[in-house]
């Protein structure tokens, strides 16, 4: 069974990046993890990822399987993404990437 990393890269207005980070840690990411579609996540800030357009972060969620990822996308993603968009509308840009795990440490 191939595991999948669901990677979300977000560039957020630097003036609100601390609020965004705290909201992600205490609200959004816990809500994503409550779906039980992922076994773990990592929230990272890009080194030298701040410029006049904002601060860049990456959240990588490790899905149990492709089926788990599909369940997340079909049942939960739209609502959770809408909450984020409504809260930070016009102050961020985001893109998503899917990666197949080839090998990982135990």
For position 92, which CATH number holds?
3.30.70.100
The Cα 70–Cα 9 span in angstroms is 19
The bridge status of strand 4-12 relative to strand 92-100 is antiparallel
Q: C-alpha dihedral over 76, 58, 33, 75, to 10 degrees?
A: 10
Query: 94 lies in which domain range?
Result: 4-100
- pLDDT, tens digit, for every residue of 27-56? 999 999 999 999 999 999 999 867 788 999
Position 106 scores a pLDDT of 79
Instruction: Tell whether 105 is covered by a domain.
Output: no
* Average predicted confidence (pLDDT) for the chain: 95
Asked if 19 and 33 touch (Cβ cutoff 8 Å), the reply is no
Instruction: Tell whether 53 is covered by a domain.
Output: yes
**Opening angle at CA 34, ends 71 and 95, nearest 5:** 60
Q: For residue 73, what pLDDT band results from cuts at 50, 70 and 90?
A: very high
pLDDT at 1 over 80: no
Position 52 scores a pLDDT of 81
The pTM assigned to this predicted structure is: 0.92
Instruction: Tell whether 106 is covered by a domain.
Output: no
Q: For residue 18, what pLDDT band results from cuts at 50, 70 and 90?
A: very high
Per the structure block, which two tokens stand in for 103? 């090998």
Stretch 69-93: mean pLDDT: 97
DSSP category for residue 14: G
Position 49 scores a pLDDT of 67
């Amino acid at each position: 069974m191939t595991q999948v990393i669901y990677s979300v890269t977000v560039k957020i207005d630097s003036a609100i990046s601390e609020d965004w980070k705290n909201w992600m840690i205490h609200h959004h990411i816990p809500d994503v993890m409550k779906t039980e579609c992922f076994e773990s996540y990592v929230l990272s800030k890009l080194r030298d990822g701040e410029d006049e357009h904002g601060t860049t972060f990456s959240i990588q969620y490790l899905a149990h399987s492709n089926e788990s990822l599909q369940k997340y996308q079909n049942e939960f993603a739209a609502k959770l993404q809408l909450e984020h968009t409504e809260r930070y509308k016009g102050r961020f840009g985001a893109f998503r990437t899917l990666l197949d795990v080839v090998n990982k440490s135990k």
